[in-house]
Amino acid sequence: MTSSAPLRVLLVDDEELARVRLRSLVDECPQPRATVVGEAGNATQALVWLQSHACDLLLLDIHMPGRDGTQLAAELRQQPHPPAVVFVTAHAEHALRAFDLDAVDYLTKPVRRERLQAALQRVAQRLALQPPAAAAAEAQPVVVVSDRGRIVRVPVSEVLYLKAELKYVTLRTAEHTYVLDDALSDLEQRLGEPFIRVHRNALVAKRAVLALERRVIAGGDEDGGESWAVRVAPVDEWLAVSRRQATAVREALVAAGL
């Protein structure tokens, strides 16, 4: 968010009337400017929305069906650059827990416009004080994955390869392996030039290729014989290169100085 852009707000409350009132209050706040970019009726809906959208702030109810607001806030804290959270609830006894979760503010219902405006000002101040490195990191492209119920944004710069296996795609970084539902062809279009298709079932980051060699490898084009393969650093794994892709892979690696 730039200094001139309005705060992007996601409303998370299981009561539709509460969301309607909050939307109206957000629209009425003159400074800082804010706009509601999405709504969710529970924590799961909020996580799904966040997979494909961005916001600066969650106005978050605590008591909701399923996971409550504090559980959602705890999950968001595991992300590299989570949005700010302001709790909005009728139950003041949760205030201490809210600030344990690094909430910017805690509003009790019925919310007054003056209190909401003060909370928005605190959020704007926090965003303005973000270190430049953190702000730059937020702009980096990411692949969004679901990992044991958490939403994780994996920077594309950390992706070593993606491999299609059965109905899923495995995403490999130096430290972790994730499973995605996305089609490999869609990921290839989104990731673009830094990646190269080495096989119908695999994309590899060019920067991660340590060598291109002939060797015996499972999944190669020649059963029991040698076929082309790339060695992926730093995990030191080998991925088969199909005969059809071998020339293109070799030329791309030469062009990249490898």
d(C-alpha 93, C-alpha 63), whole Å = 12
- Please indicate whether residue 100 or residue 25 has the higher confidence score (pLDDT): 25
Tokens of 106: 């805690």
Q: Kindly provide the residue ranges of all beta strands, DSSP E only, lying in 90-225, ordered along the sequence.
A: 105-108, 142-147, 150-155, 161-165, 168-172, 177-180, 195-199, 202-205, 209-216
pLDDT for 223 equals 56
Alpha helices in 143-242 (DSSP H): 184-191
d(C-alpha 253, C-alpha 245), whole Å = 12
In whole angstroms, how far apart are CA 53 and each of 9, 199, 210, 227?
11, 31, 35, 42
Percentage of residues of the chain with pLDDT beyond 70: 85
d(C-alpha 41, C-alpha 144), whole Å = 21
Say yes or no to pLDDT of 108 above 60: yes
Beta strands 105-108; 84-89: pairing state = parallel
Tens of pLDDT, residues 171-199: 999 999 999 888 898 889 888 888 999 99
Say yes or no to pLDDT of 255 above 70: yes
- Please indicate whether residue 254 or residue 123 has the higher confidence score (pLDDT): 123
- pTM score, whole prediction: 0.53
Q: What number is the average pLDDT over the span 117-131? A: 84
pLDDT for 143 equals 83
d(C-alpha 165, C-alpha 186), whole Å = 15
User: How do the residues of the chain divide into helix, strand and coil, expressed in percent and rounded to 5?
Assistant: 35, 30, 35
Q: What number is the average pLDDT over the span 4-13? A: 91
Asked if residue 119 lies in contact with residue 107, where contact means CB atoms within 8 angstroms, the answer is: yes
Say yes or no to pLDDT of 96 above 60: no
In whole angstroms, how far apart are CA 15 and each of 60, 84, 94, 97, 133?
12, 21, 19, 22, 38
Asked if residue 172 lies in contact with residue 161, where contact means CB atoms within 8 angstroms, the answer is: yes
d(C-alpha 206, C-alpha 229), whole Å = 13
Tens of pLDDT, residues 14-66: 999 999 999 999 999 988 899 999 999 999 999 999 988 899 999 999 888 88
Tokens of 200: 């119908």
pLDDT for 84 equals 93
The full set of domains in the chain, from first to last, is: 7-137 (3.40.50.2300), 142-255 (2.40.50.1020)
